[in-house]
Structure 1
Amino acid sequence: MLISVITSTYNSASCLANALESFKVQSYAEKELVLVDGGSTDKTLEIIEKSEITDKMISERDQGIYDALNKGIMLASGDVIGILHSDDMFYNAEVLQSVAEVFKANPDLKAVYGDLLYVERDNTDKVVRNWKSGEFDVNKLAYGWMPPHPALFIKKQCFLKYGLYDLQYHSAADYDLILRFLYKYKIETAYLPQILMKMRVGGMSNKTFKNRLRANAEDRVAMKVNGIAFPFLVAALKPLRKIGQYIK
């Protein structure tokens, strides 16, 4: 089972090396790295070339991260698609092996997700939030729950059947895709109770209060499109679910 990992970059020189190294050390042999660069002008391309681990790559202007991920998915050859953002890291060298074992144990599975740690940007050993996802229950999606997008691995056939990331969203295309696949179309999904990813704090939807308000509005649109009842109420519940992640 080939696992394709998609990495989107744009002027990511400050942190990309960590992401690439975390892929390089994965013990699972059937893997490929698909890198989609948005036309970086810093040393990103030099770092990529030096790493010598990229299986497929394109570098051209795009419409943002979701457009880049869509390009990567269509370029990927794998049975399973995983996302490794340029400022994230796999938690350890066994992540892809663990994910593959779950898929192989149940051929009907279409998605596997695990847990995620938010860490400081300049000290990735310091944990800020601990996102323990919990067992999968499709009904929890109707009340604001979601698995962490960077720790979610999905069969490529789902993207071909149910669509790619919707570019009408600025920051909620990942949430829309999760609702579409897991809630609307109810693909077979399993929880792997392990930490799979470390994610640096400071994502695009959380940088400012204005961005957070826009992201919340986009969440409501995604809920409505995918059949979630009472989207205004659920959009209020969604951030409240994060409070427990800060309790050590």
Structure 2
Amino acid sequence: MKVSILTVVFNGVQTIRQCIESVKDQDYPLIEYIVIDGNSKDGTQAVVQSYGDKISRFISEPDAGIYDAMNKGIQLATGDIIGILNADDFYANRTVISEMVAAMSAGHFQGCYGDLEYVDSVDETVIKRKWISGSYKKGAFLNGWMPPHPTFFVKKEVYEQFGKFRLDLGSAADYELMLRFIHKAGIKIAYLPKVLVKMRIGGVSNSTLANRIAANRNDLKAWKTNNLTPRFYTLWLKPLRKIFQFI
């Protein structure tokens, strides 16, 4: 199966090279690599262009934010499976894609996810948190569960059938998409119980109480836009589950 990997970036000259290298070094032979840049002005474009034909498709133009850029990449992708790797992130080892494809092929799965490590923004060898996803059980979203989006791979046909990212949900757009695909549509997903992606610390959704309240509002909107009803504790369990990532 052909795999399309999408990287979206804006002024990411400090990290984009490591991201690209982690894709380039994968041992899986059928990878289409698409980079969508938001018209960076810091040298990002030069770094991407230095890889020549190692980048299958490169677009640099203004966009309406990260999820708009992701939607552009999904539209361009020609692979059977699509994965999204942000410019601040990198694959944990060179076998991530081959292991993911093997897992999906073994059970005719439509999606796959794994575990994620948060690393220091300066020294990526320093692990700050570890997100152990665990196997998916039907109804898990009601208990605040979700897989780490950077580890989430899904067949292109799923996007074609159930849609791409909504642009009106802020940082909850990836949560809404996985809620729609996994909880509502019930796609069949595989779990790889190993770290697939390393992410540099720097997210904003939980950095302050105000940000958490805003995130909760968008999480609730994610349920409502899908005509779904969370339990009274669902949206508070979601951030509380992150406590275990520090243990």
TM-score normalised by length of structure 2: 0.96
Aligned to 1:98: 99
1:105-124 matched pairs, under 5 angstroms: 105-107=106-108, 109-124=109-124
Cα distance in structure 1, aligned partners of 2:167 and 2:231: 21
AA aligned to 1:158 is: V
Rounded to whole Å, the distance in 1 between the matches of 2:225 and 2:153 is: 23
Cα RMSD after superposing both structures:
1.3
Which amino acid letter does the alignment assign opposite residue 136 of structure 1?
A: Y
**Residues 47-85 of structure 1: CA distance to partner in whole angstroms, max 9, x if unpaired?**
101123210111111000000000000101100000110
Is this contact kept in 1: 2:90–2:197, CA < 8 A?
yes
Structure 1 residue aligned with 2:66 = 65
Is 1:15 the equivalent of 2:15?
yes
**Deviation per residue, 1:4-36 (Å, 9 max, x gap):** 000001111011111011011100011111111
1:233 has 2:233 as partner: yes
Specify the code of the residue in structure 1 equivalent to 2:160: L
> Residues 185-229 of structure 1, C-alpha deviation per residue, up to 9 Å, x if partnerless?
100111111110000111242444433321121011112333543
Q: Which amino acid aligns with 1:79?
A: D
Paired residues of 1:184 and 1:227 also in contact (CA < 8 A) = no
- Residues 50, 209 of structure 1: CA spacing in aligned structure 2 closer, same or farther, 3 A cutoff? farther
In structure 1, stretches of 5+ residues that fail to align are: none
* Equivalent residue number for residue 39 of structure 1: 39
Q: Does 1:75 align with 2:42?
A: no
Q: 1:188 is matched by which residue type in structure 2?
A: K
Give the whole-Å Cα distance in 1 for the aligned partners of 2:42 and 2:152: 30
Q: Any idea what the Cα deviations from partners look like across 1:76-112, whole Å, max 9, x if unmatched?
A: 11000001100000000000010010122122x1100
Distance in 2 between residues matched to 1:203 and 1:94, nearest whole Å = 27
Trace 1:1-248 onto structure 2 (pairs within 5 A). Answer: 1-52=1-52, 53-107=54-108, 109-230=109-230, 232-247=232-247
Q: CA deviation at 1:231?
A: 5.2
Q: Is the 8 A contact 1:5 1:81 kept in 2?
A: yes
Q: For residues 50 and 74 of structure 1, what CA distance do their matches in structure 2 show?
A: 24
2:169–2:221 Cα contact (<8 Å) kept: no
SS at match of 1:8: strand
Q: Mean Cα displacement is larger for which, 214-223 or 18-27?
A: 214-223
One-letter amino acid matched to 1:147: P
Give, as a single letter, the amino acid of the residue that structure 1 aligns with 2:140.
Answer: K
Where does structure 2 lack aligned partners over 5 or more consecutive residues?
A: none
Q: What is the percent sequence identity of the aligned residues?
A: 43
**Aligned mates of 1:129, 1:145 — CA distance in 2:** 17
Q: TM-score, normalised by structure 1?
A: 0.96
